[in-house]
Structure 1
Amino acid sequence: MTPPFKPFLEEKMWFALFWLQPLREFWRRELGDKYFTKLQQVIPYTWLLDPTPLPQHAVIPRLEIHDWREAGQLSQKERELLLKVSGFSPLGWGSRGVSVGQDLPGAEWQRLIEEALATFESGPKIMQRFHKARIVEHPHWPHGSDEPIAMRGRVRLCPYYFVEQGKVHLRGALATIVPADKKLLHGMRDAILVPSAITTGS
């Protein structure tokens, strides 16, 4: 394959590193205030499920818990959270490695957290706040239909960047539109896949 895979781009752990307080000034300096602020608006708050014990006086930010196992005791309402595998993995595509806290029984949620902590060294996991994508309408041509019909759905955008003469350029995106009742957005059988162009001006 040309160009070769870039494993570091598969690491969802970057989202957790972006939100780490000790790295805040590093990111601000490297990205600049404008892009740092913009990324804060679009990257959901993310934690790395690191089993390293915290000092007695410390808590995990925004969850206000001292130990990750306490997250297993959160109520269903409080579990607006996702667990995701980070990096290259057989579960790293098609939402196979994603678990929605609110959709799981408490015992299963606890088991997944324990598993994530136990496999930290070989397959780290992240936790994110869950945000629903907004609803859009897009025409599609379902199998067996004589005409296109509108589908209400949620959109995932996958941008495509190209390196041209040593500079990186955004040249397009793949829009994946899934039915509105789906929580996880991926290239499922019922999805619409739409190539998107970048336009400038009116």
Structure 2
Amino acid sequence: MQSGKSWRNALLALLTISAAIIVIEQTGLIQRAAYAIERGRLEAGYEQLRQITDDDVADLERVSQGFAIVAEVVKPAVVYIDAVSRRVDMDPQMEELFKRYDFGPARGTGSGAIFDETGYIVTNNHVIADADAVRVTLADGRRYNADVVGTDPKTDLAVLKIHADNLHAARFGDSDKVKVGHFVLAIGSPFRLGHSVSHGIISAIERFDVNVDIDYQDWFQTDAAINPG
């Protein structure tokens, strides 16, 4: 009777060990299969890289060089704008707070582009709105006081004028020729980081119903990084 019980226990232990071996083996098979799939995917990627020809590399280099040329040519026309305004009427307690900690005048900053060598600059209206003084810093470091020639809040555009010599002007493109997928470059001074360049594509044209507080709605949409400034 005791030997029969021992035999059953031994058989049960053997079955348990066999089941554990099967589970381990199946787990190993799954891991090896996953490794083989991942290795195959990587090998396919390397094969695609090996198929890239010298002409393909040359095309990429030409695109990269094109970006560099555009950035170099346009840079002298891009300016940094510093708009200063007195504090508007505010709650007496807030006014006392500003006086106590000497926050100074309110400042707005942004970028603009010289579009005429006589000193005319286009920028955004919100950059210079309500400003008492506007100063422009050129790419070569020269600084000038600027006059506000005109503003259009509906399109958020403004035109400034500085009195300076030896200016470089950017050229306007033809917006009617812009298509979805075209490359674009954004050049400016985001967060006061002078003459930064980002790139992307035109994601959409004639974009309407954009949730901004501007009456005019007919926008280009781009994935190029455009930050305040």
Q: TM-score range by the shorter chain?
A: under 0.3
Greater Rg, structure 1 or structure 2? 2
Q: TM-score, normalized by length of structure 1?
A: 0.21
Higher relative helix content: 2
